[in-house]
Structure 1
Amino acid sequence: MGRVRKSLVISVVVVAVVGIGFGLYWFQPWKLWQDETVDEALPVAVGTAAPPATAEPSTSTEGSAPSTTEPSAPSTAEPSAPPAGPETLADGELISHEHATSGTVKLVRLADGSHIVRLENLDTSNGPDLRVWLTDAPVKEGRAGWHVFDDGKYVSLGKLKGNKGSQNYTVPADVDLTHYSSVSIWCDRFNVSFGAAELRQA
């Protein structure tokens, strides 16, 4: 009986240790006290002017008549305008869901026609497997808004770079932005929103 009891105790201890290890890996509670600040500038395309065209030197053949071509007048064409700067198409303020969250979300069209979602002055909690989602879900306050963002259409723009700061997230070129109206800081591991913002036309 003593040997059986000892084996049972060892088995219980092993299961407990494995369970605690798995729980720590899954929940990663230490992240709640670890801040990651990432500050990125808004991308600005810099246009480069084409080099001015140079006239070919004229050549003459011995004995030929002198050229009567008048020298060409200097070009009066206007230099090409630099590309337009980034344009904010929509924006919104983040509200808190499972964790206190604040900051501004902007949908920005860059000079080359591509789009980004920009988080400015973000302040939320750290956590496991946080993502930035562009979604079609309504933004609701309180618990009613914690779990709605995976009910319809959504596009993951990648892992959250930092729980504090200002950051840029590229929107894939094939995404039809007319189908999306909100942004969520989404915990993919536990299917819950840390915070979200409704995008309103700027």
Structure 2
Amino acid sequence: MKRYRTDITAWLIIIFILVALFYLYNQLQPDNYINQGEDASLPGKLHPEVAEMTEALIEQAGNKSINVVITETTRSNEEQRELYEQGRSEDGQIVTYAQGGESYHNYGLAVDYALRNQNGDIIWDIHYDGNHNGESDWFEVADIAKELGFEWGGDWNNFKDYPHLQKDFGLSINQLQQGIRPKEEETET
């Protein structure tokens, strides 16, 4: 009988903790997101926090003598569809597995980068060491980006997207498609 009470007590504690976590999760979420509904339009520019992080990335990389070039920011669904067709129904290599509306670029939450070499050419050479410190500039930039809060596509398991950086704010593509967006911080003027 004593073991039965111990088991019941343990389960009640676990259930209480789960209910409390569920309650806290639902109380915290609305402050971070807004729901614009499924008819929400796609943003035409980067989310302000992503834009700020991108500027910081360029500056911090520049402090290490690495010239970062942002090659892509937001994309329309049509632009994303065209990119998806590359290597499929169009010439070229496959560069994305995200169709229109399935990329964080579509929601202003992602950027792609490249490097500018000493000749002024934009390159996508992940082994290039233009600052001559014995480390790949590409990976140095990725490390800076991750320190700033970006997720790097080079860390993905299935498809390595080395130029890609995103900040998803904890939102899935499905949530974004449903019109849920990260709130933009109010700026003081």
TM over 0.5: no
Q: TM-score, normalised by structure 2?
A: 0.29
Q: TM-score, normalised by structure 1?
A: 0.28
Larger Rg: 1
